[in-house]
Amino acid sequence: MKRYEPDGRHAKVLAAALRTWTTVDHDPEPPVARLEIRYPPAWAFASTTSLTARQQTRLLAFLRDDLAENRPGHSTPDRAAAVINGLLAEAAAAGRTRITTADLAEAAPRIGRSRTWIAAHITDLIDAGTLQQTRRPNTFRIT
């Protein structure tokens, strides 16, 4: 598995996409907001994109629609399980070999399920062999 290195490529692609979007979606009105994109680990500067009021409204509407699926009332157990699997994949890609119950519980709003559901799902992941218990309480090895 390839380890993710924060070299700024993702941020630069996002910056280019936003710059293209604001150019194609030309609005003669003056900018009302600036979106500055930086990348880890030192949070180096990648780009600044100016947005007009209409562009800002469109971008925020898109983000709200995208995030709406993660609200607790909209999350299904299958979707929540997929989010947890994504979190485990992200951790593994970042080179982490262990994850804690707290790591997953912090993501409860994103998952859209209760901490109790997350704890039960962790048990399912252990039974499936995706996670292994370690000697430390509430710490699991990603397999």
Tell me what pLDDT residue 70 has. Answer: 55
- Strand-by-strand arrangement of the 139-142 sheet: 98-100, 139-142, 131-133
| pLDDT, average across residues 73-88 | 81
Q: Give the Å distances, CA to CA, from 12 to 20, 23, 56, 109.
A: 12, 16, 20, 28
Domains of the chain: 9-68 (no CATH), 73-142 (1.10.10)
Q: Does residue 103 register a pLDDT over 90?
A: no
Asked if 104 contacts 122 with a C-beta cutoff of 8 angstroms, the reply is yes
Tens digits of residue pLDDT in 4-58: 556 777 788 888 888 888 888 778 899 999 999 888 778 888 889 999 999 998 8
pTM of structure: 0.50
Tell me what pLDDT residue 6 has. Answer: 62
Instruction: Please state which of the ranges 26-30, 69-73, 85-89 shows the lowest mean pLDDT.
Output: 69-73
